[in-house]
Amino acid sequence: MRMNKITGILSLTDPSTRDMQPLTTRRPVAALPFASRYRAIDFHLSNFSHAEMDSAAIFIGGSGRSIYDHIRSGAVWNLESTLSGGIFTYSQTYMKQHTDDPHFGENHFYENQREFLTKSRAEYVIVGGGKIIGTFDFLAMRDFHMEHDDDFTVLYKNMPVDEVKGHDYEKVLQFDSNRDV
């Protein structure tokens, strides 16, 4: 096993995508085209690849067909299936959240994520959402995290509070002088 192994979780279950309908009626924001050839998800997968991850999990709220068609084997991002790696996809998480099956009910929404993390045996986990587009250096973020010996590290963008007020699905974090939330 590699030292300081990192894995990624990409959650495509963001309720704020309702604002982008009808484009997101049948697919997550991450599957929307970007510059014709690419999809928004390509940014995340490229960032994962540059962080030398050998596995990543994608959790999709509804149908994953548009994501599956685009990512295929994951080879473009060096995330092709290997004995212990690859891209693992979990779709229909909205439906599973509202079923009577004890493996999926509301209290078990994160059960598949726990299972993925256990199997990945990664020391560090990067968790991201599907509506974020950007280039991030996750290795530098991991180094910062290790240097400060924190329980978790948040990558964020400073925004005026007025720009996110009224959006129930956006969270405002305030930090004190010790970098505590």
CATH number at residue 118: 3.90.550.10
Distances in Å between the Cα of 136 and the Cα atoms of 125, 126, 132, 141, 142 are 14, 11, 11, 8, 11
Q: What does the pLDDT read at residue 1?
A: 38
SS3 149: coil
Residue 81 counted as domain residue? yes
Per the structure, how many domains does the chain have?
Answer: 1
Q: Is 132 exposed, middle or buried (0-12, 13-18, 19+ CB in 10 A)?
A: middle
Q: Give me the domain span that covers residue 137.
A: 6-18+26-151
- Alpha helices (runs of H) in 83-131, residue ranges in sequence order: 93-97, 111-120
Interval 125-146: pLDDT, tens: 999 888 788 899 999 999 999 9
Interval 81-110: pLDDT, tens: 665 677 777 776 666 666 666 655 555 667
Q: Which of 18-27, 46-55, 96-105, 139-148 comes out lowest in average pLDDT?
A: 96-105
Residue 70 counted as domain residue? yes
Residue 166 counted as domain residue? no
pTM for this model (two decimals) = 0.79
Give the span between the Cα atoms of 34 and 55, in whole angstroms.
Answer: 24
